[in-house]
Each structure stands twice: as structure tokens, then as C-alpha cells.
Amino acid sequence: MRIVLVLLTVLGITASALALREHYRTDTSPCSINEKWDCGIVNHSPYAVLWGIPVAIIGIAGYLLLGTLALKRWYSILLPVSLAGLAFSLYLAHIEKDVLGVWCVYCVASLGVISAFTALVVGTVVKRVHS
């Protein structure tokens, strides 16, 4: 299971790195698909920075932490950390949907990754408790 979890964190880091590239991009975003899908708008919004730190950097750091915890099989710590990551990602999805009205492909991909990651961790913890 830990290898699957680490692979998911690599996907999450990739999505976050691409979002970070959009944050610093000054030309037209390649993922500016239409009025509802534009990574540039999302990653240049005031919501793309938290305490002066780009949210994408927070994502990269979070995925690195999750990957490290998964490698060490520290599931008792991994569970609350992944749940916090999922909650933060859901909050950002709310911002995209209800505040900005624009979605970022990379952010949605990251939401999918943290959702799958958290589901696998929950399943692993439940299995360990019932074993």
C-alpha cells in the first residue's frame, strides 16, 4: 500500500508544481480552456496565496509530508494529516466553484489525488483496526 500512496503523492506534487508554474506565469495560460476552466485566473487570484505563500507550495510541502509518512507507514499520523489535506482541498474547490466561478485543471487533479489518497488511508486504518 505504501508504494501506491507514494505514487499518488508524486502525482500530487506534479499537479501542485504545474499550478505553481501557473502562479508565476506572465503569459497566457496553456490551460485556459474556456470561461469556466482557466488555471491562470485561479492561480493569480488572491486565494492562490496564504500568509504570503503560494497555495501550490503548500500543496507540494503537504504531499512531501504525506509521502514521507506513507513510506514510514505511520498511519496514525497519516490519517489526520490526509484528512486535513482533503479538507483544505475541498475548501479551495469551494473557492473555485462559488467565489471565482472558474476551475483549475491542476487543482481538480490535486483534489482527485488527495481524495483517493485519503480513501486508501482510511481503508488501511480500518483494516488494521479490524485485523
Q: Residue 121 sits in a domain of what CATH number?
A: 1.20.1440.130
Question: Could you report the per-residue pLDDT of 73-94, keeping only the tens digit for each?
Answer: 999 999 999 999 999 999 999 9
- Other beta carbons within 10 angstroms of residue 20's beta carbon come to 19
Question: Strand, coil or helix: what is 36?
Answer: coil
Contact present, 48 and 42 (Cβ < 8 Å): yes
Structure confidence at residue 129 (pLDDT): 86
Structure confidence at residue 94 (pLDDT): 98
Task: Report d(CA 107, CA 109) in Å as an integer.
Answer: 5
Give the pTM: 0.93
44 pLDDT higher than 80: yes
More confident of the two residues 129 and 28: 129
Range 45-54 average pLDDT: 96
131 pLDDT higher than 80: no
- The total number of structural domains that make up the chain: 1
Place of cell 485485523: 131
Place of cell 508524486: 10
Question: Could you report the per-residue pLDDT of 24-39, keeping only the tens digit for each?
Answer: 988 877 888 888 999 8
Range 65-70 average pLDDT: 98
Q: Which domain holds residue 34?
A: 2-129
Question: Strand, coil or helix: what is 28?
Answer: coil
Question: Could you report the per-residue pLDDT of 105-121, keeping only the tens digit for each?
Answer: 999 999 999 999 999 99
Beta strands 32-34 and 49-50, pairing class: unpaired
- Other beta carbons within 10 angstroms of residue 127's beta carbon come to 11
Amino acid at 40: G
Question: Strand, coil or helix: what is 44?
Answer: coil
